[in-house]
């Protein structure tokens, strides 16, 4: 049986020294492998193809049958690691919190303890500004706000 940690190591060896990084590796029933990648700059389809070919060169389908999907961690996916938060500083995010509230604003900072989010609101012509420090322990998920303005 193929192991997610072995796949992760294989991919990390291939991308070592680049700005690409592994977000998640899952091995589902029936050896369905899903590898999600990200990059500090950009991640192309060609990058995903190179990683796919590398995995296929290491894991022979004749020995172990598997299904493989290598993809970028899409814009609609929640952030899973600190490096993604740091990469997206300055972007508008929606943070779902453990108390069931949602805090939306501009991601200002991120470190190993949590994030800092700024938001400006206007109610009845009164503008308010708020900067909130949110520890990771309070966050259920954070996603980028997609805007078509």
Q: Domain limits of the chain? A: 4-72, 82-144
- Other beta carbons within 10 angstroms of residue 87's beta carbon come to 19
Count of residues for the chain?
149
Fold of 4-72: GMP Synthetase; Chain A, domain 3 (3.30.300)
Paired strand residues for 36 = 24, 71
Considering the chain, what percentage of its residues have pLDDT values greater than 90?
A: 83
Three-state DSSP class for residue 46: helix
Task: Kindly give the confidence (pLDDT) of every residue in the chain, 149 residues in length, as a single tens digit, with 9 standing for 90 and above.
Answer: 789 999 999 999 999 999 999 999 999 998 999 999 999 999 999 999 999 999 999 998 888 899 999 999 888 899 999 999 999 999 999 999 999 999 999 999 999 999 999 999 888 888 999 999 999 999 999 999 988 87
Counting Cβ atoms within 10 Å, is residue 148 exposed (0-12), middle (13-18) or buried (19+)? Answer: exposed
For position 88, what pLDDT does the model report? 95
CATH of domain 82-144: 2.30.30.100
């Amino acid at each position: 049986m193929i192991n997610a940690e072995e796949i992760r190591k294989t991919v990390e060896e291939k991308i070592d020294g680049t700005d690409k990084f592994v977000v998640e590796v899952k091995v589902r029933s029936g050896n369905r492998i899903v590898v999600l990648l990200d990059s500090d700059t950009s991640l192309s389809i060609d990058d995903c193809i190179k990683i796919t070919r590398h995995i296929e060169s290491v894991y022979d389908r004749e020995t172990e049958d598997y299904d493989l999907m290598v993809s970028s961690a899409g814009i609609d996916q929640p952030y899973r690691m600190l490096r993604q938060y740091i990469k997206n500083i300055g972007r508008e995010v929606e943070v779902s919190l453990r108390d069931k509230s949602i805090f939306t604003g501009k991601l200002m900072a991120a470190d190993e303890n949590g994030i800092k989010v700024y938001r400006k609101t206007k109610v009845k012509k009164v503008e308010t500004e708020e900067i909130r420090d949110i520890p990771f322990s309070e966050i259920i998920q954070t996603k980028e706000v997609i805007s078509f303005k």
